[in-house]
Structure 1
Amino acid sequence: MASWKSDIEKNKKVMQIMKHEMDTKQGKAAKLLVGRNIAQQVGTVRERFRYWFLPFFGSGTVYLAFAYRSTKKFVVLYPLVPMCFAFCYQLDFAYGRKTRRIKEIAEDIMNKEAHMIYVPEWHYTNPRKGGG
C-alpha cells in the first residue's frame, strides 16, 4: 500500500519536472520565433532598400540633376526633399537602430500603458470534439 502512494508522489514530481522543462523549452521557442520574425522584417527592408529604393533614389537624383542643369530652375530639385526623408528612413530601418527603438517603445507601452492594449479572449476548441 505504501509503495502505491510513493509511486503516485514520484509520478507527481516527475510530471512537475517535465512541465517545468516543457515551459522552459516553449519560452525559448517563442523567443526564437520572435527573433526570426524580426530578422525576417529587417531582411525584407534590406532587400527593398538595396534592390528597389537605392536604384530608384540614385537614378532619380541623377535625372533631376540633369534636369536642373538644362533648365537652371530649383523647382526641378524639389522632389529630392521627400526622397531624402524616405531614403534616410529606409536606411535607418535596414542598417540602423530603428528596430531596437521600436522594440523599446513597444516594451515601454506594454509596461507602462498596458491598459491601452486590448487582447480579446481566445478559447481553444478542439475541432474533433465539435465545439467549444
Structure 2
Amino acid sequence: MGFLLSKSMDANLKKQQEFMLHNSRLQLERQMMMQNQMRERQMAMQIARSREFIKYFGTFFAVAFTGLTVGALKRKKPALLAPILPLSFIFAYQMDGAYGTLIHRVRGEAECIMASENHRLDLPHGTPTFDSIEKARRAKSSLASFLER
C-alpha cells in the first residue's frame, strides 16, 4: 500500500513540476513580449520626437536660408551664405532620422558591432548576478538599519 501511495505522490509531484515549468515559461514569454512592446513604444516616441523637431527646425532653416540669401544678395557679401552649409547638414541628418533610413543603417551597424566587436559591450564589473545584487541589497538594508539607530 505504501508503494501505491508513493507512486501516486511521485506522479503528482511530476505533474506539479511540469505545471510550474509551464507557468515559468509563460511568465518569461510574457515578460519578453512586454519588454519588446516597451522597446517598440520607446522607438516610436523617438521617431515622433524627431518628426516634431523637424517641423521646428525646418521652419528655422527656411527662414534662415531665405534671410541669409537675401542678405547676401543685397549686401553683395557671399560670406553670409556660410551658415547655410552646416545648417543644411543638420537638417539633412534630422530628416534622415525622422523619415529616412537612418534607423536601418544604425541597426545594421549595431548588429555588426554585436557580431564582431562584442568585447566593447562588456559592462564594468561584468554582468550583474543574483549574488552581486543580493550582496548590494543586504549592504543597503544593513546601512538603513544602522542609520535608523
Query: Under TM normalisation by the shorter chain, which class is it?
Result: 0.7 to 0.9
1:81 maps to what in 2?
A: 85
Of structures 1 and 2, the larger Rg is shown by 2
2:25 maps to what in 1?
A: 20
Distance in 2 separating the partners of 1:78 and 1:63: 12
2:141 maps to what in 1?
A: 130
1:63 maps to what in 2?
A: 67
**Offset of residue 69 of structure 1:** 2.1
TM-score by length of 2: 0.78
Moved >3 Å (runs of 4+): 123-127
1:49-80 alpha-carbon deviations (Å, 9 max, x no partner): 11x20111011011112102211221111111
Identity of aligned residues (%): 27
Higher share in helix: 2
2:103 maps to what in 1?
A: 99
Structure 2 matches for 1:32-47, cutoff 5 A?
Answer: 32-47=37-52
1:95-114 alpha-carbon deviations (Å, 9 max, x no partner): 00111211121122112211
Deviates more, 1:81-90 or 1:64-73: 64-73
CA RMSD of aligned residues (A): 1.8
SS at match of 1:124: helix
Distance in 1 separating the partners of 2:116 and 2:42: 24
What amino acid sits opposite 2:141 in the alignment? Answer: G
1:17-36 alpha-carbon deviations (Å, 9 max, x no partner): 11111111111112112111
What amino acid sits opposite 2:16 in the alignment? Answer: N
Distance in 2 separating the partners of 1:7 and 1:26: 28
Greater RCO, CA 8 A, separation 6+: 1
1:110 maps to what in 2?
A: 114
Distance in 2 separating the partners of 1:98 and 1:114: 22
Q: Number of residues paired by the alignment? A: 129
SS at match of 2:123: coil
